[in-house]
Amino acid sequence: MPKKSVTTDRKLAPVPKDLVFTNKIHARAFELVNDAAENGLTAPTNEELSNFCHTSHANTISKILKSLAVQGHIRTEKVNGCSRRFLVLHSGKKTLPSGSNRKKEKSNAE
pLDDT per residue rounded down to tens, the chain (110 residues): 455 555 556 788 889 899 999 999 999 999 999 999 999 999 999 999 999 999 887 689 999 999 999 999 999 999 888 889 999 999 999 999 987 654 444 333 33
pLDDT score recorded for residue 31: 96
Tell me if 33 sits within 8 A of 88, measured CB to CB.
Answer: yes
| Distance in angstroms (rounded) separating the CA atoms of residues 53 and 97 | 21
Q: Output the pTM of the full model.
A: 0.81
For the residues of 5-34, what is the DSSP string, one character each?
S--SSSPPPPPPTT---SSHHHHHHHHHHH
The CATH number of the domain covering residues in 24-94: 1.10.10.10
pLDDT score recorded for residue 106: 38
